[in-house]
Amino acid sequence: MLTVNNIEVVYDRVILVLKGVSLVVTEGSITTLLGANGAGKTTTLKAISGLLRTERGEVTKGSILLGTRRIDAMRAFDITALGIAQVFEGRRVFEHLSTEENLVAGAHLERDSRKVQEGIERVYGYFPRLKERRRQQAGYLSGGEQQMLAIGRALMSRPKLMLLDEPSLGLAPMLVEEIFAIVGRLVAQEGLSVLLVEQNAAMALTVAQHGYVMENGRIVLEGSAEALRANADIREFYLGLNQLGARKSYRDAKHYKRRKRWLS
């Protein structure tokens, strides 16, 4: 579905942010990209969706392929038309529009009003709570409902690949489980492919089939979700577990360092 080949990303023609990132998203699967704040995860998503230009960034090396088509030099609008939709960190709904008006905005590529309405009903099928609040101003929805709306709005463009950026941010655990369960249904029932950026590594590795770990603009580790869950470094640094499986105390966080061999 998606192949990122050894890309470098530079901002303002000076600041090197991504340093040879490569990853693959297979069709009909969830692939997760893990890493601390500032590792380059969101920049990777923006390189894929074509949004780097809005922040004076560009892919200066490597390539990004959707299937066999190269997209790294394309405009964001054209990339969306090919079937890639990005759900941003922090949800970013149109607060002064109603729930349904937000969904209509997500269908900006569709000119057939009948298909737009079909898309809205499809979203309501996955998110019944949004139907209950279809007339409500989006700014007054709860955080979980806004996240549902952000995903639903992305679905309105009928994507083949969805880029999800920190969907669990600021949400209660039960809501996180509900949202990830719905994402899992979308993958299973509609063949949607998902690239998931998440700091909640435990949840991400539960729903994903494959994962990558990013540090300082580089991929330092990859493998199946099962293998990553069993990896001692992942358990300690991302799941907060020691070698005995007990929760690690973070009173000594000042001594925390990534193992240098990750970057070798």
Residue 227 token pair:
């293998």
224 vs 258: which has the higher pLDDT: 224
Enumerate domains of the chain plus CATH numbers: 2-231 (3.40.50.300)
C-alpha to C-alpha distances, 90 to 127, 165, 202, 236, nearest whole angstrom: 19, 8, 20, 27
pTM of the model: 0.87
Residue 136 buriedness (CB in 10 A; 0-12 / 13-18 / 19+)? middle
Cα(13)–Cα(41) distance, integer angstroms: 20
Strand order in the sheet with 57-66: 15-25, 2-11, 57-66, 69-70
Lowest average pLDDT, out of 63-77, 99-113, 118-132, 242-256, goes to 242-256
Specify the pLDDT at position 240.
62
**Count H helices, E strands: the chain?**
10, 10
Q: What is residue 224's DSSP assignment? A: E
Lowest average pLDDT, out of 123-127, 155-159, 209-213, 250-254, goes to 250-254
For the segment 143-167, the average pLDDT, to the nearest whole number, is 93
Model confidence pLDDT, tens digit, residues 235-256: 777 766 554 455 554 444 433 4
With vertex at residue 165, the alpha carbon angle to CA 159 and CA 170, rounded to the nearest 5 degrees, is 130
For the segment 153-176, the average pLDDT, to the nearest whole number, is 90
Residue 239 buriedness (CB in 10 A; 0-12 / 13-18 / 19+)? middle
Question: Mean pLDDT across the chain, nearest whole number?
Answer: 88
Whether the CA torsion 86, 207, 125, 28 is positive or negative: it is: positive
